[in-house]
Amino acid sequence: MLLAVACATTLMAQQRAVSDLNFGWRFHAGDVKNAEQKSFSDADWRTVNVPHDFQIEQPWVAPAADEKADNSDAAANIKSRLSSRGFKEMGKGWYRLHFTPADSLRGRRLLLQFDGILYTADVYLNGERIGGTDYGYVGFEIDVTDKLKFGQENVIAVLADTREPGNSRWYTGGGIFRDVRLVATGKELFFERHPLYITTRENKFVNVSGEFTNRTRKPAKTLVKIYAPDGSLVFEGGKTINRHRMARTVETALCNEVTIADVKLWDTEHPQLYRVVAQLFREDGSLADEVCSTFGIRTVEIVPNKGLLLNGKKVLLQGYANHHTLGALGAAAYPRAIEKRIQLMKQFGINHIRTSHNPYSREFIELCDKYGILVVDELYDKWTRQHTGGRVGFTQLWQSDIPEWIKRDRNSPSVVLWSLGNELQQDPNQPFNDFGVTMYRLMRPLVARYDSTRKVTVAMHPRYRNWETDSLPCELAKITDVQSYNYRYMYFPGDGHRFPWMTFYQSEASTQAMGQNFFEMELDKVIGLAYWGAIDYLGESMGWPAKGWSQGVFYIDLEPKPKAYYMKSFFCPDEPVVHIAFLESENAEMWNGVKMGNDRMSELWNRPEGAKVNVYIYTNGDEVELLLNGKSLGRKENPKGAKLRNQIRWGEIDYKAGRLEAVAYRNGKAVARHQVETTGEAVRLIAEPDRQSPKTKSSKKGSQFSAESAQLWQADGMDLQHVRIVAVDKKGRKVLTAQQEVSFKVEGNAEIVGVINGDITSNEMTVGTKRSLFNGCCTVILRSTRQAGPVTLTASAPGMKEIKLQMETK
């Protein structure tokens, strides 16, 4: 293909240009001899577009007869070989891209950029190894200025490797899972990678510094423009920077203490974003390079006995900590899939995400900037070779990983805290054999070298010798800027009394103890918490046939479980909430010494007549009345104690077909209702797309739109359409017992990239054209092509008339 150069702005047409390399890769699963060579024939390989996860496409691998089905005996080294990695086999995959560079790129400085390749990778150009990554969560670039051949075809070849099962504790995915691009700049005067550093002071002063290279032997002129959230220009100023007689690459202030009038502050409810455009000019006044970055004006303070103050006001972190994967898509980092999650989490009161235990994509951080999510940005799990790629020792990674990670995200207002690692105390093989103390003291100054505005932490088990008997926190807890304790919030008061400078964050909280581990904290004094695994995910299975973590309050397909409404009841105290749930079975699973098993709850009101049903009601009302077919079963008050607050355990009632309704009251007034009904047999399907277009319609009554659907489906080759398929009865009610297999067919300018339901124990694949209903629904995910036009999705299931959904990409 001829490499077409796409520019971010017209002004940049003759300076910096960016070409998208996400499309048209040839792929082969497994290692192939000589696949890096330019002359190698890949004619029989299939074509894929990135982001791409080749591991998600592989079949499930059940535990062998001599393996444990879960991680329960990990200490004895007899756990299942693949339970932590999602019961997918490890392996390698080759990617090859053929292209001919445009003549307009001659004489330019050319950089090949990869935002991430899992888990490790080698990159070749025309048969020559030119670079790679030993820790694929961190992006990198390769200078190919003198290596690209003009007037002929070039071949980029990438060998991605998931490494061995023990090299990660979760499902990583494999392949080119983030964006790829080619960047062209001038050769003599240009900005470096992640060049801008934007800081604010007192919520009105802005400082911008930049890193650039000047090979002209002459002074460079700079110009900085700052644009307000509404797009208006609020500052423009320039300066001349003399070339240093020794250093060609310099970091220097581009503007100092710029006063912004009528400031629009960034916060969780009003995430106002400003934009900086920085330009470099040659001595003759011609534009040499231009870069831009968004930022927010806000202050973050973390104060003992107060917690986190955003713009001087207390904000409690109410969040979750999950791995980076995206359900049916595996590790492939589609911005729309990330955005969908953030939008859903906001609806349930979440204002915080911890990126466990590696940097997420840059697009994730930008979406958190956009939606007002507070991020604890984490770099590593444990500081060992085993847990950081497995190809080189940890001490060979951090010196390059930290600058790339910090410089990429430091201008984002959503990032409020850096985290360097997780649970070092569980692995004694940390560098220097002191459970991370020396290593932290080495890394902390390097973080400060690139960002002095944020504090730094490490998530930990604070009693590493014996959780039950140790009276003092470990040495690492005494030197980190913030004390981040996984699960052990009960130590906050005592440790705070002994060490009054400490500030406390429950960096992982058990969903099993949800509510109790929130209300038992002194909320006015702590930073907040992150519920571990709030969304079910692949990997870290507690036992086959579960393909991963199933203790969340959202299913892997993002359908909320009943307990999600319990979380919402205290994360959204001002919004009346009431929700009925039925206890189906109890779960006492242990994980890392913590009870993590979530009781299995449902909303099913189709049962044998007279059956005993154990009713729970989640509410933030003062009291709740329960009615069965219009007859009151009484009222009960919301418990006051921390352990049971906002959950009324009604007890057993006799099932009767019809309608069960809960009514929540505040000050004697009904403020919220929730009901469940006995449904009939499923007779038809309805389709609910989450992106709208002028031509989106269903050939069958029942197509619905979510609140997200006001956004148009873009024909950019990257945008997704999640279509939820729901089985309903004659009255249009969702039938939770429907389990039929749904077949999909798509015609037009889109392709199916994922199919999923909430059943993490299912042996069905998340790729393909079929998926069974679970709790009455499933989801098919469509990826647009780069050609705008109509898309028709057909869904059919046994015993139901097929449904056609007509859509359009713009």
Cβ within 8 Å of residue 104, ≥6 positions away = 5
- Give the Cα separation of 644 and 450 in Å (integer): 45
Cis amide linkage into residue 244, ω under 30° from 0: no
Element containing residue 240 per DSSP (H, E): strand 233-241
Q: What's the first-to-final CA gap in the chain, in angstroms?
A: 24
Question: What SS3 class is residue 257?
Answer: strand
Identify the residue with better confidence: 695 or 568: 568
* Structure tokens given for 230: 């509404």
User: Is residue 433 left, alpha or beta, with left meaning phi > 0 and alpha meaning psi from -120 to 50?
Assistant: left
Q: Which amino acid is at 571?
A: F
* Res 425: pLDDT: 87
Average pLDDT score over residue span 102-124: 97
777-784 vs 205-214, strand pairing mode:
unpaired
Average pLDDT score over residue span 687-705: 63
Q: What are the b/e assignments for 365-399, b being 16+ CB within 10 Å?
A: bbbbbebbbbbbbbbbbbbbbbbbbbbeebeebbe
Cis amide linkage into residue 545, ω under 30° from 0: yes
Average pLDDT score over residue span 368-393: 97
pLDDT over 70 percentage in the chain: 92
- Give the Cα separation of 538 and 546 in Å (integer): 9
* Res 328: pLDDT: 98
- 383 neighbors 424 (Cβ within 8 angstroms): yes
- 413 neighbors 454 (Cβ within 8 angstroms): no
Check whether 808 has a pLDDT greater than 50.
yes
> In whole angstroms, what separates CA 495 from the centre of its chain?
32
What count of residues does the chain have? 810
* Res 66: pLDDT: 85
* Res 469: pLDDT: 64
* Res 700: pLDDT: 46
What pTM did the predictor assign? 0.95
Check whether 175 has a pLDDT greater than 50.
yes
- Give the Cα separation of 383 and 362 in Å (integer): 23
In this structure, the number of other CB atoms found within 10 A of the CB of residue 597 comes to 17
2-3 vs 92-101, strand pairing mode:
parallel
* Res 142: pLDDT: 98
Residue position matching structure tokens 């890392």: 592
For residues 62, 66, 68, 74, the Cα torsion angle rounded to the nearest 10 degrees is -120
pLDDT in tens, 434-452: 999 999 999 999 999 999 9
- Give the Cα separation of 525 and 519 in Å (integer): 12
Element containing residue 580 per DSSP (H, E): strand 578-585
pLDDT band at 248 (very low <50, low <70, confident <90, very high): confident
pLDDT band at 13 (very low <50, low <70, confident <90, very high): very low
Check whether 78 has a pLDDT greater than 60.
no
For residues 398, 401, 402, 406, the Cα torsion angle rounded to the nearest 10 degrees is -170
- 804 neighbors 698 (Cβ within 8 angstroms): yes
Check whether 391 has a pLDDT greater than 70.
yes
Check whether 74 has a pLDDT greater than 60.
no
- 272 neighbors 266 (Cβ within 8 angstroms): yes
Residue 638 per-residue DSSP state: P
Q: Which amino acid is at 529?
A: L
* Res 5: pLDDT: 36
Least confident of 377-386, 406-415, 663-672, 695-704: 695-704
Check whether 388 has a pLDDT greater than 90.
yes
528-532 vs 317-322, strand pairing mode:
parallel
Average pLDDT score over residue span 633-644: 96
* Res 72: pLDDT: 55
* Res 598: pLDDT: 78
Identify the residue with better confidence: 542 or 763: 763
189-201 vs 205-214, strand pairing mode:
antiparallel
Cβ within 8 Å of residue 197, ≥6 positions away = 208, 209, 210, 211, 251, 407, 410, 411, 450, 451
- Give the Cα separation of 382 and 116 in Å (integer): 20
Cβ within 8 Å of residue 257, ≥6 positions away = 201, 205, 206, 207
pLDDT band at 775 (very low <50, low <70, confident <90, very high): very high
The CA–CA distances, whole Å, from 41 to 26, 27, 28 equal 11, 12, 12
Q: How high does pLDDT run on average in the chain?
A: 93
> In whole angstroms, what separates CA 382 from the centre of its chain?
20
Check whether 586 has a pLDDT greater than 50.
yes
Check whether 40 has a pLDDT greater than 90.
yes
* Res 710: pLDDT: 55
Check whether 346 has a pLDDT greater than 50.
yes
- Give the Cα separation of 591 and 168 in Å (integer): 17
- 36 neighbors 156 (Cβ within 8 angstroms): no
* Res 709: pLDDT: 45
Backbone phi, psi, residue 144, to 5°: -115, 20
Least confident of 78-82, 493-497, 733-737, 746-750: 78-82
User: Is residue 799 left, alpha or beta, with left meaning phi > 0 and alpha meaning psi from -120 to 50?
Assistant: left
Residue position matching structure tokens 């090299």: 167
Backbone phi, psi, residue 517, to 5°: -75, -5
Helices (H), 433-549: 437-450, 475-479, 492-498, 516-519
- 96 neighbors 157 (Cβ within 8 angstroms): yes
pLDDT over 90 percentage in the chain: 87
* Structure tokens given for 303: 């104060």
* Res 463: pLDDT: 83
* Res 467: pLDDT: 54
Check whether 369 has a pLDDT greater than 50.
yes
17-20 vs 180-185, strand pairing mode:
antiparallel
Cis amide linkage into residue 119, ω under 30° from 0: yes
Backbone phi, psi, residue 375, to 5°: -115, 130
Residue position matching structure tokens 């890193």: 211
Check whether 91 has a pLDDT greater than 90.
yes
Q: Which amino acid is at 789?
A: G
- 601 neighbors 592 (Cβ within 8 angstroms): no
Check whether 163 has a pLDDT greater than 80.
yes
- 724 neighbors 687 (Cβ within 8 angstroms): yes
Identify the residue with better confidence: 702 or 284: 284
- Give the Cα separation of 100 and 113 in Å (integer): 17
The CA–CA distances, whole Å, from 29 to 95, 116, 399, 618 equal 9, 18, 32, 47
Check whether 216 has a pLDDT greater than 50.
yes
